[in-house]
């Protein structure tokens, strides 16, 4: 595959890995957080840990949309589908996230709720058009990457006057989560971030500039291919060695400083900041998520259905929260791989292939067994 | 399939069944004249052979030599027609392959059809014709069968269950339990073709591609492999769950680990690209015409020769080695040179693929 294979070249990977190995200073550790689940997945799927020197430790960040979604939000979606008879549409990973009472959207579906997996928001509009007599709700989740497609659907629904379409909005903001991690009182020892790939294509690199400036943490934006990740780590090691702290862009083939102005304008037209949003792991984070603007409020499922959000505590033994904050590793959770596995996930990090626990279980658990 | 109960060979139907605009109704499954006519004019017309034509409740077969193998497989694929095949040909290939993977020569098939009220008879005829063609090409006749009709809304057009009977090829002892540390792991060709061909034709997801299902009967290739290398330890067709699940099944059954090399596993460009944009791992995507063979390392080259000499195995390759591992992990060295686990498929990746 052109434009892909070049970034999965084994020889090149080894060359970059050797350069990292030469760059690390004896006696010091480098702790980098890859914010995105996409990076977590790439690191695990390509076995990049085997190529990195011992001194470099990657900490998995909260950038996995289904992982940070609190249980109470899934409960709302289930209630809409089950108690209000709506057709509930969402992206695949969301279906398996454990909710209250041993349910998930997939289990609710097995019990008769009309839950459908979609690949695109436009599929949801098609379903709404095909079922004019039923309520069709899109459980909208994700960071800045998936927000523009939701905005497109809402605008389209408004233009068509699709009265039976609404969204349960859970779109969240990357920079706000990075602030929350760095500002946490307990603090996570971090030397820098591997910055988001797809999110940055939308928002650009400028929104990360406060992190070097205010917290002294370098950010290197990287694509999701293995060579991208290795190059970003190399650039981070160099910044740390030189005592520099800036935003660098490894993913220049897709990311500019300004980002995608049209997508941003469309999102801005449809959405506005929520005063506060509950994140799994990070708790309530002010101005960290989006909601529909008053002009589009008629498409807000939370207004159409009486399904108030109620916070739900995580399973007692589940360490997802600490893992999402970068404080713990998956194997430090005592139910990892025993009670909690991808087939029977207890916490959200075990659900999506981008979740830290699922990635480690699926690709890396041989490391402990050895 | 009781094709012709009456002495002269056909019942007293007044008019032939409407094969252009006709649809299945409840009478076609009720055991009466309508059912007999459907069987006669659609099923027996296409599938007929000396055993089916006996018209009894079952088929009386000649004595068989050697150990028998029996295997059954239900087919619920959606869409019913896809590039490279349809539910009819698939229902023959799937079961022929399951029998062949036991180191056996498939001999006979039985077929059960569940039809949904309202299903078009013209479509049924196409499916049965395709099934007959696949059975003829494989040399494995459908010798008995059954038809049921369910009310509209209680099926999805047509479901087909086929059962295959075969005889173990002399000297063969193939089982997923037989893999031993040191054995070579062979794969007969590219992976992911079937699953992606199906996905490319899904109503809600269709995309432009020339990917064709690899659906094929593998028993000919198995016979030539076993003729050259009778010591093959295990054979398995990498269907649902893809190559990843097949390797994990063998590792689990045999109590061993398996190490494979990513660079040795062939994926067609179009399949790789489609997997890429749908976020799927080709290792988890279904195949309907590819097999994994575990053979003693010393026989690996001979076995590859046998596979490559067959048209369905031209791209056969050694992809890895069986190792000792109490955890029974399947591990892969990536193109990057890193290692990772190749796990079972979790949940469902592609619904209704076979």
Per-residue pLDDT tens digits for B217-259: 999 999 999 999 999 999 999 999 999 999 999 999 999 999 9
Pick the CATH number of A70-173+277-304 from 3.40.50.11740, 3.40.50.150, 3.40.50.2000, 3.40.309.10: 3.40.50.11740
Cβ–Cβ of B334/A47 closer than 8 Å? yes
Q: Compare all CA atoms of chain A with the CA of B257 and give the residue at the minimum distance.
A: A366
Q: Compare all CA atoms of chain B with the CA of A121 and give the residue at the minimum distance.
A: B204
Residues of chain B with pLDDT under 50: 2-8
For residue B237, give the CATH number of its domain: 3.90.650.10
Architecture category of domain A5-66+183-249 in CATH: 3-Layer(aba) Sandwich (3.40)
Q: Are A92 and A116 within 8 A, CB to CB?
A: no
Q: Are B297 and B304 within 8 A, CB to CB?
A: no
**Bond from prior residue into A118 cis (ω within 30 degrees of 0):** no
What are the residues of chain A with a beta carbon less than 8 Å away from any beta carbon of chain B? 1, 4, 8-10, 13-14, 44-51, 96, 106, 118-119, 123, 126, 226, 342-343, 358, 361-366, 369
Distances B339 to A43, A364, B260, B278, B332 between C-alpha atoms, Å: 11, 8, 10, 24, 6
What is the secondary structure of A256-291 as a DSSP string?
Answer: -SS--HHHHHHHHHHEEE-SEEEETTTEEEET-BEE
Q: Are B153 and B190 in the same domain?
A: no
Three state DSSP letters for B207-224: CCCCCCCCCCCCHHHHHH
Q: Compare all CA atoms of chain B with the CA of A11 and give the residue at the minimum distance.
A: B336
Query: Which of B341, B345, B350 best tests the A interface by mutation, with the highest count of A CBs <10 A?
Result: B341
Cβ–Cβ of B341/A363 closer than 8 Å? yes
**Least CB–CB distance from A96: residue in B273, B335, B347:** B347
A48 contact residues in B (CB cutoff 8 A): 336, 338
Residues of chain A with pLDDT under 70: 370
pLDDT value of position B3: 43
Q: Compare all CA atoms of chain B with the CA of A16 and give the residue at the minimum distance.
A: B336
What is the secondary structure of B332-345 as a DSSP string?
Answer: EE-TTS-EEE-PPP
pLDDT value of position B7: 37
Q: Are B128 and B261 in the same domain?
A: no
Distance between B61 CA and the closest CA of chain A, angstroms: 43
Q: Are B190 and B305 in the same domain?
A: yes
Distances B83 to A260, B201, B211, B262 between C-alpha atoms, Å: 38, 8, 7, 27
Q: Count other C-beta atoms under 10 Å from residue B193's C-beta.
A: 27
Which residue range forms the structural domain that includes residue B90? Answer: 26-168
Distance between A285 CA and the closest CA of chain B, angstroms: 30
Q: Is residue B12 part of a domain?
A: no
Q: Is residue B161 part of a domain?
A: yes
Cβ–Cβ of A366/B278 closer than 8 Å? no
Average pLDDT over chain B, rounded to whole? 93
d(CA A73, CA A105): 11
Q: Are B190 and B152 in the same domain?
A: no
Cβ–Cβ of A123/B327 closer than 8 Å? no
Distance between B334 CA and the closest CA of chain A, angstroms: 6
Within 13 A of B294's CA, how many CA atoms are on the CB side?
A: 33
Query: Which of A363, A368, A369 best tests the B interface by mutation, with the highest count of B CBs <10 A?
Result: A363
Phi, psi of B62 (to 5 degrees): -65, 160
A365 contact residues in B (CB cutoff 8 A): 329, 341
Residue A83: partners with Cβ closer than 8 Å, 6 or more residues away: A307
Phi-psi region of A210 (alpha: psi -120 to 50; beta: other; left: phi over 0): alpha
**Least CB–CB distance from B338: residue in A4, A46, A369:** A46
Cβ–Cβ of B337/A119 closer than 8 Å? no
For residue B118, give the CATH number of its domain: 3.30.1330.10
Number of domains chain B is built from: 2
Q: List, by residue range, all CATH 3.40.50.11740 domains of chain A.
A: 70-173+277-304
Residue A133: is it exposed, middle or buried by C-beta count within 10 angstroms (0-12/13-18/19+)? exposed
- pLDDT tens for B177-210 read 999 999 999 999 999 999 999 998 886 677 788 8
Q: Are B206 and B98 in the same domain?
A: no
What is the secondary structure of A60-81 as a DSSP string?
Answer: EEEE-HHHHS-HHHHHHHHHHH
Cβ–Cβ of B339/A50 closer than 8 Å? yes
Residues A178-208 as b/e (b if ≥16 CB within 10 A, e otherwise) read: bbbbbeeeeeeebbbbbbbbbbbbbbbbebb
Q: Compare all CA atoms of chain B with the CA of A341 and give the residue at the minimum distance.
A: B346
Cβ–Cβ of B334/A118 closer than 8 Å? no
Residues A39-69 as b/e (b if ≥16 CB within 10 A, e otherwise) read: bbbbbbbbbbbbbbbebbbbbbbbbbbbbbb
Cβ–Cβ of B346/A47 closer than 8 Å? no
**Least CB–CB distance from B276: residue in A4, A50, A106:** A4
d(CA B275, CA A131): 31
Q: Compute the CA torsion angle B55, B57, B60, B66 (nearest 10 deg).
A: 140
d(CA B14, CA B128): 24
Instruction: Report CA B206 to chain centroid distance, whole Å.
Output: 23
Dihedral sign from CA coordinates of A264, A266, A268, A270: negative
Cβ–Cβ of A51/B333 closer than 8 Å? no
Q: Compare all CA atoms of chain A with the CA of B283 and give the residue at the minimum distance.
A: A45
Q: What interface predicted TM-score (ipTM) does this complex get?
A: 0.83
**Least CB–CB distance from A14: residue in B327, B333, B337:** B337
What are the residues of chain B with a beta carbon less than 8 Å away from any beta carbon of chain A? 204-205, 263, 269, 272-273, 276, 278, 327, 329, 331-341, 343, 346-347
B343 contact residues in A (CB cutoff 8 A): 342, 361-363
* Residue B23 per-residue DSSP state: B
Strand ranges in A37-185 using DSSP code E only, listed in sequence order: 56-63, 87-90, 115-117, 136-142, 165-171
What is the secondary structure of A325-338 as a DSSP string?
Answer: TTSS-GGGSTTBTT
Cβ–Cβ of A366/B329 closer than 8 Å? yes
Prediction pTM value: 0.89
pLDDT value of position B182: 98
Q: Compare all CA atoms of chain B with the CA of A367 and give the residue at the minimum distance.
A: B340
B329 contact residues in A (CB cutoff 8 A): 365-366, 369
**Least CB–CB distance from B337: residue in A44, A51, A363:** A51
Q: List, by residue range, all CATH 3.40.50.11750 domains of chain A.
A: 5-66+183-249
């Amino acid at each position: 595959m052109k434009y892909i294979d070049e970034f999965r070249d084994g020889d090149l990977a080894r060359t970059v890995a050797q350069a990292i190995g030469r760059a690390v200073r004896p006696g010091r550790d480098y702790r980098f957080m890859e914010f995105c689940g996409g990076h977590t997945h790439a690191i695990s799927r390509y076995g990049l840990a085997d190529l990195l020197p011992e001194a470099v430790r990657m900490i998995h960040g909260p950038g996995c949309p289904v992982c940070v979604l609190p249980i109470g939000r899934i409960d709302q979606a289930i209630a809409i589908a089950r108690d209000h008879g709506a057709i509930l549409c969402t992206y695949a990973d969301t279906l398996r996230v454990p909710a209250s009472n041993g349910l998930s959207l997939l289990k609710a579906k097995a019990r008769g709720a009309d839950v459908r997996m979609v690949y695109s928001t436009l599929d949801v509009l098609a379903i709404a058009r095909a079922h004019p007599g039923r309520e069709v709700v899109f459980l909208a989740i994700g960071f800045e990457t998936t927000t523009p497609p939701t905005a497109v659907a809402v605008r389209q629904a408004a233009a068509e006057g699709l009265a039976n379409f609404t969204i349960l909005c859970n779109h969240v903001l990357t920079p706000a989560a990075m602030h929350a991690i760095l500002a946490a009182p307990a603090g996570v020892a971090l030397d820098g971030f591997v910055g988001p790939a797809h999110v940055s294509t939308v928002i650009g690199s400028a929104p990360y500039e406060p992190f070097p400036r205010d917290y002294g943490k370098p950010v290197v934006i990287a694509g999701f291919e293995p060579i991208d990740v290795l190059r970003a780590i190399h650039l981070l090691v160099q910044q740390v060695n030189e005592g520099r702290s800036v935003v660098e862009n490894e993913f220049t083939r897709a990311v500019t400083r300004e980002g995608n102005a049209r997508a941003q304008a469309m999102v801005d037209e449809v959405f506005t900041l929520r005063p506060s949003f509950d994140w799994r792991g990070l708790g309530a984070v002010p101005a960290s998520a989006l909601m529909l603007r008053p002009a589009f409020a008629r498409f807000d499922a939370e207004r159409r259905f009486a399904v108030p959000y109620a916070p739900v505590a995580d399973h007692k033994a589940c360490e997802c929260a600490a893992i999402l904050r970068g404080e713990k590793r998956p194997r430090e959770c005592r139910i990892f791989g025993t009670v909690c596995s991808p087939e029977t996930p207890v916490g959200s990090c075990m659900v999506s292939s981008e979740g830290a626990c699922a990635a480690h279980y699926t690709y890396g658990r041989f490391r402990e067994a050895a | 399939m009781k094709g012709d109960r009456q002495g002269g060979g056909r019942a007293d139907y007044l008019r032939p069944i409407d094969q252009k605009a006709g649809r299945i109704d409840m009478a076609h499954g009720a055991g009466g004249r309508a059912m007999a006519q459907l069987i006669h004019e659609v099923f027996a017309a296409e599938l007929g052979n000396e055993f089916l034509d006996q018209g009894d409740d079952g088929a009386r077969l000649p004595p068989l030599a050697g150990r028998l193998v029996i295997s059954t497989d239900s087919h619920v694929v959606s869409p019913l027609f896809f590039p490279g095949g349809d539910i009819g040909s698939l229902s023959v290939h799937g079961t022929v392959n399951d029998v062949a993977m036991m180191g056996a020569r498939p001999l006979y098939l039985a077929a059960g059809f569940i039809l949904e009220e309202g299903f078009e008879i013209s479509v049924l005829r196409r499916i049965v014709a395709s099934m007959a063609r696949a059975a003829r090409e494989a040399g494995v006749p459908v010798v008995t069968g059954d038809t049921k009709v369910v009310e509209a809304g209680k099926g999805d057009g047509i479901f087909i269950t086929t059962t295959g009977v075969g005889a173990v090829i002399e000297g063969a002892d193939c089982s997923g339990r037989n893999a031993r540390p040191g054995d070579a792991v062979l794969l007969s060709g590219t992976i992911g073709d079937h699953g992606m061909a199906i996905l490319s034709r899904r109503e809600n997801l269709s995309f432009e591609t020339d990917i064709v299902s690899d659906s094929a009967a593998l028993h000919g290739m198995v016979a030539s492999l076993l003729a050259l290398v009778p010591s093959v330890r295990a054979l398995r067709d990498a269907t649902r769950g893809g190559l990843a699940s097949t390797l994990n099944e063998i590792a689990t059954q045999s109590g061993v680990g398996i190490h494979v090399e990513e660079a040795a596993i062939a994926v067609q460009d179009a399949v790789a690209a489609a997997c890429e944009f749908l976020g799927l791992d080709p290792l988890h995507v279904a195949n309907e015409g590819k097999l994994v063979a575990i053979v003693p390392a010393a026989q690996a080259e001979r076995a590859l020769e046998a596979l490559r000499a067959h048209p369905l195995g031209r791209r056969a390759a050694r992809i890895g080695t069986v190792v000792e591992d109490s955890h029974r992990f399947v591990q892969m060295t990536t193109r990057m040179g890193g290692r990772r686990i190749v796990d079972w498929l979790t949940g469902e990746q592609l619904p209704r693929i076979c």
